[in-house]
Structure 1
């Protein structure tokens, strides 16, 4: 119940526009977020580094929710990669888990939708709202090694 309440409050807060943006090192932020998530035997790989203009707290929620989602659906030994998009200003988070069926790519963004008996259905809805608040775009697709890939584009890249 506490988790549902906290996620509901986060969802309500994160939909607002971003006014507190600063320069955030993507690799550093992703690594810090990974350390705050119960990762079991999962692995994080951060490919390169870049600095983006973002609200660090909200970006942390994006990483933490995507990491938890990968582990919850991909298993305790999933590998998660974070890196810069090629040819676009943005980044991706990709896992090698079981993936999301293509017909559910839009549905997983809906508040309350979950395919897990223990899920709340808030995680990806929160990610979607944070991305929108930054005026970025979120695309969901298949990962290179199976699993799911989240591409976040339209990011103000600093380096």
Structure 2
């Protein structure tokens, strides 16, 4: 099964990588958003180095909380793609996509503003879709 993914530019210009199915292959661009989003998704597949596969330890670390796990399950089961189930792209991933420094700084601030619960949700969502977690988490002091 292939995951369908779409880079979504939300109102504040932050990038979300939306996807509702566990990834088992390369992400491909969806339709519905601007052509620029599709071009970014294609650029990501060709320009970014492959991320390491998530490990069982990643799932244990980020998906251990029952509430977080249930929210991720609900997000993945959703029939629609959007901010409620989109993976927040890391600043490093944005840099690999060639995004401007100002956008990367905005993305870093978005990660830094997340609560611990929101970070766990984002990381668990990434792991459940076959993506590696963001490490270090911006703003975590790691």
Same fold (TM over 0.5): no
TM-score (norm 1): 0.27
**More strand by percentage:** 1
Q: Per residue, is there more helix in 1 or in 2?
A: 2
